[in-house]
Structures are given as structure tokens and as C-alpha cells.
Chain A
């Protein structure tokens, strides 16, 4: 049994994942917990939220996120890659900033207008 805290919502359910029984999940309050529990053991992922530099914006930085959860072990590498990205204002929410980051098939998108 693997004990986990679900990060799907602020409730933070205590999950038990049975690695000897098809990774079945108990302790969840909703479907998010079942999916999180399985994924966390088999292929942990996280949505990356960070910033890129922006020129002529109201601030120096534009907040961005990965359009889908990235493999957990790619987070730091992706974050490092984004350090050198500079965009120009105006940018719209959901605009693609980096396509297919690190060949993951996942895009980095803006999370606000600027």
C-alpha cells in the first residue's frame, strides 16, 4: 500500500494505492482522487506554473502555465528552458508562448492578458 495526499483540490484526501491490486485507490472523495492516486504511482505529473519575461507589459513578467500536466521529472528542466524566453506585449490569455516544450507535446500558454 502506498499512502498519498491527493492534490486535486484543497481538501487533501488521504489516499491508499494498492500496488498489488491493479493500483486500486481507496480513501478518495471523488474521481479526481482515483485518477491522481493511480497517476502519482505510475507516472506522476504536475501543471507547471511559472513566468517568462515580457517587453512593454504593465509588469516585467508574464505568468504562464503548461496547457496540460507535465511529467514531474521535467518540471525543473522546463522551468530552466523558459528562463530565456522573452515575449512582447500585447499577449492574450491562453496564447501559446512555447509550442511542444521539451518534445512533450504540451504547450506553454499565457495565463493573463498583458
Chain B
């Protein structure tokens, strides 16, 4: 019987395992399906990682390396090339690797499976079905780890960070990136990436546009049709632009990977596609915690690692029987906030502050984020210069302000 099993050895899993080890858990296992630790960081060869956590700018592999080095100094058990087939509510996992099939049990589980990319099917892009259409992350792996050339004349659909990073990558590798096409009137990526990945190389960004047809010649992409869309995302007639290209990269969002969670009857939030969590990153199943992109899509690996620490501390408290709470309250939202993480809060708790993160579904200028208790009183306010969908917004609520709350708190935004 393990004290803790962590599923996934990316930034979330490694950070969680290390924290649990530092806090004194003895028997810790990390299960990873890839042949090495590091997860997606291994293919994110660009820099920009670690500024919050390590106070220096690191590339993905360097960031992962910091955790991997530390892990190697511990007796944390790492099982590579191992697939978790099933997780159940009693904290058993069923795994498969070259040694065969095994059932393993733990006092606590941390889910750190990350997310996967949305594909062409998810947005039903019409057209031919030839070669040359990749998700941006798959192309990134082919290029950065396997060393394949992905294409020469590229159109990127979606302006998520991975797509932007790939625009720069492919340009540096000698490909011509002809356009980045975004259906929303705003970019889904960080502003610095628009600057250093598109503008640095004069790659045009078409906002409020989408690909409405993909044409192939000899089973390879040869042309895309790009059309303008209106506010309701309907294509505008006669706005078509033809772009000759051989490659389409899709950077159209990520989906938390929760097949295992669902099988363990963990409640999933349809808004985040991740488990409903408490302030301590615990799921609806006691003793099963989660962190990182399996919960919600984060902007930064640094924040993933920090969230993982929180989950690990809570898992330690659970294993060591140090829990204090007796009841729970809900965190509700008003438009244009799409969701919050956590969705629920245990009370009473020892912590002084509760971090709440959320995204909005529209761009707001100068505004105030307000938290209201169930009696309708505003209990705290957070002024902001702007709030944009591309950036995960964070507030922290002093626990003293909600300690007597019995039902729920609501978060909303008022524009100035």
C-alpha cells in the first residue's frame, strides 16, 4: 500500500510528488505513460518558464530538469512506460506495462494527467481529408523531439500559445508561416507571444476569421479558404481569402484529460471539463486530489507547479489525519466569468487565504472584481486595469471573511 500515488510525471505530477516527499510521506509512486519524466515540457523547448518559481527564465526542458534532478535525489518510485487503465473510488489503480497488469493501492491519489488538444473534429472544419493537418502540439513534438520537418507553407488556425510558439518555431526552421487565423475578435494567446512569435516575423493575425474550407491536391493540403465571421461567429459572404499552403496547424484549445476521473465517479465540471474541486484541490471523492491542466487549462507551468504543491499538502493532511473541516460552501459566478477553481470551499480551515482563479469570456477594461456573501454583502473587492479571456485571473479571499458563511459566495465583475 502506497501513501500516495501520483498519476502523470509532468510539471504537476513532479511538483506534487516532491512536495509530498518534503512533507514526510514515505511511500510515493509516480506513474507515467511516456518513456521519461517531464511531460509536455520536454517538447516546449522555448523559454519563458520559471520566472515565478525559480526567478530565472528557463526553457521547458530546463524547467522539467530542475524537478527531475530533485526527484532523483529522493526515494520516490517512478514507473515509466506505464499506462493507468483504471482508477476506482477506493483509491486503487490498475496499470499495464511491459511487466504486465497490476493493481496498486494508495491512501491518497493525486491526478496530474494534464490535457490534450482539441482536434479538427471538435470544430468540424469542412474540406478534404489529406495529410498536412496537425494539432500544434503534435507538430511541436514531431519537430522538436523526433526531428521531422512538418511543412513548408503554413497556416495556423487559432491563436493559442502553442500555435503562436509554433509559428516562430516553423519560421526559424525555414518554413513560411502565411497567417494565423483566430475566430474570436481577440487572441487566445499571451500578448508577449503575439509580439515575439508573430510580429517579430511579420506574420499576419486575422482576428474574427476562420478556415471554412481545406483543399487537398494528391492527398496533401494545397489551399485553405479563410472567411470573416460576424459577432455570432457566422461566416460573412464574399469575405473569402484563398491561401495556398501545404500545412494547417490547429491551436484551438485544450481539454483536461479525465477519462480516469470519470470512471472513479469523480464529479466533472462541464465548464472546465476538469473535476469539481475544493480549495485544497480535493475532488468529490475523498482522498483523491488533482492539480495542473487536468483541473483547468493554465497559462503557465509555474502556476501548475504551485497548484500541485497545494494538492500535495492537502493529500499529506489527508493521509496524516490532520483535517479540520466540517462543512462546505459553494463558489458561484456571474457573467462574464465562465467558471471558478475551486468550485467549493471546506470550512473551517487553517489557511489564511483562499486562492480563486477564473476566466472571463469577454475582454473587460478597468473593472472591479467583487465577492458577495449569501446575505448579499460585498465582502471584498479587487480592482483590475483589465481582464481578458487569454489570462487566467486570480484573487485571494481572506478566510476570516467567509468563516461564518453557510451557503455560498458569488464572484462578479463590474466594469468602471
CA distance A4 to B61 in the complex (A): 29
Could you mark each residue 130-171 of chain B with 1 if its beta carbon is under 8 Å from any beta carbon of chain A, else 0? 000000000000011111000000000000000000000101
Is A72 an interface residue when CB atoms closer than 8 A count as contact? Answer: yes
The one of B46, B64, B190 that contacts A49, using a Cβ cutoff of 8 Å: B46
B191 and A59 contact, CB distance less than 8 A: no
Which chain A residues lie closer than 8 Å to B47 at the CB level?
47, 49, 65
Residue from B35, B65, B169, B171 within 8 A of A112 (CB atoms): B65
Residues of B within 8 A of A101 (CB): none
Q: Does residue B355 face the partner (Cβ distance < 8 Å to A)? A: no
Q: Is the interface of B mostly helix, strand, loop or mixed?
A: helix
Q: Does A53 contact B (CB under 8 A)?
A: yes
Interface centre among A47, A51, A112 (most CB of B within 10 A): A112
B144 A12 Cβ-Cβ under 8 A: no
| Segment 66-114 of A: residues with Cβ below 8 Å from B | 72, 75-76, 79-80, 83, 93, 111-113
Total residue contacts A-B, CB cutoff 8 A = 85
Docked-complex contact B190 and A12, CB < 8 angstroms: yes
Among candidates A46, A47, A80, A111, residue contacting B174 with C-beta atoms closer than 8 Å: A80
Count of B interface residues, CB-CB < 8 Å: 34
Known: A49-B46, A60-B145, A80-B174. A112 touches B51 (CB 8 A): no
Q: Which residues of B contact A80 (CB under 8 A)?
A: 174
Asked whether any CB of chain B lies closer than 8 Å to the CB of A6, the reply is yes
CA distance in complex: A4, B196 (Å): 11
Total residues of chain A contacting the partner, CB 8 A? 31
Residues of B near A72 (CB, < 8 A) are 200
Residue of A whose beta carbon sits closest to that of B59: A111
Q: Of A5, A49, A60, A83, which one neighbours B195 at CB under 8 angstroms?
A: A5
Q: B192, A59: Cβ atoms under 8 Å? A: no
Given the known interface contacts A58-B36, A79-B172, A93-B62, the answer about A46 and B46 at a Cβ–Cβ threshold of 8 Å is no
B45 touches A49 (CB 8 A): yes
Mark out the residues of chain B between 168 and 209 whose CB falls within 8 Å of any chain A CB in the assembled complex.
Answer: 169, 171-174, 190-192, 194-196, 200
For the complex, what is the distance from the CA of A83 to the CA of B61, rounded to whole Å?
Answer: 20
B residues less than 8 Å from A5 (CB atoms): 191-192, 194-195
Nearest CB on A from B295, distance (A): 19
Q: Which residues of the partner chain A approach B48 to less than 8 Å between Cβ atoms? A: 9-10
**Cβ of B299 under 8 Å from chain A:** yes
Q: Contact at A58–B61, with CB atoms within 8 Å?
A: no
Interface residues of A in 8-43 (CB under 8 A from B): 8-10, 12
Beyond A12-B191, A80-B174, A111-B65, 8 additional contacts (C-beta under 8 Å) are: A4-B195, A5-B194, A7-B192, A9-B192, A47-B57, A59-B147, A63-B61, A65-B45
Please, could you name 17 A-B residue pairs with CB atoms under 8 Å apart, sorted by A? A4-B195, A7-B196, A9-B48, A10-B48, A10-B300, A12-B190, A50-B45, A51-B45, A58-B35, A60-B145, A60-B147, A65-B47, A76-B171, A111-B59, A111-B61, A112-B42, A113-B65
Q: List 5 A-B pairs, minimum CB-CB distance, nearest first.
A: A12-B191, A112-B61, A63-B45, A60-B147, A7-B192
